Amino acid sequence: MTAVVAYLDPGSGSLILQALVGGFSGLVVLGRYLWTHWMTHKAIQPRTELSAEMPVVTHLH
């Protein structure tokens, strides 16, 4: 897969907006994007909470 990079900072919000103004098919893309974004966010969050409760191991034998 080719990485999408540019010398110009396109701005995340401006990129997302392009799906929003792209008509019905754009809304479908936006829906998929938001779903993936939400799922990724959800998958990361519990691990963060768990790590906060874990005891700190100071000695390893």
Partner 1 sequence: MLIWQSKVYRALSSQAVTDWKRVCRQPFFLRLSTQGSIIQTDELAGDRVRELGIPGTWSGVLQHVRIPFVSYPYEWSFSMLRAAALLHLEILTEAIQAGTILKDASPYNVQFHGARPVFIDIGSFVALTPGEPWIGYRQFCEMMLFPLLLQAYRRIDIQPVLRANLDGISAREFLRSLSWRDMLRPGVFTHGWVQSVLERTSGDSHENTAEALKSSGFGRQLILNNLARLTTLIRRLNWKPPQTQWTDYRHELPHVVADAAAKSGFVQSVCLTGRRQLVWDLGCNDGHFSRIAACNAEYVVAMDQDHGCVERLYRQLASEGSTNILPLCIDLLNPSPAQGWRGRERVRLEERGQPNLVLCLGLIHHLVIAGNIPLPEVVDWLASLNAEVVLEFPSKLDPMVQGLLRNKRDQYEDYSLPFLEATLLKAGFQIRERTDLPSGERTLLYLIPQ
Residues that bind partner 1 (CB under 8 A): 2-23, 25-26, 28-30, 32-33, 36-37, 40
Task: Report yes or no: 20 and 33 within 8 Å, Cβ to Cβ.
Answer: no
Rounded CA gap, 12 and 14, in Å?
A: 5
Q: Which two tokens stand for residue 60?
A: 């390893």
- Closer to partner 1 by Cβ: residue 21 or 54: 21
Nearer to partner 1, 44 or 57 (CB): 44
Q: Cβ of residue 4: shortest distance to partner 1, in angstroms?
A: 4
Please say which residue, 7 or 60, places its beta carbon nearer to partner 1. Answer: 7
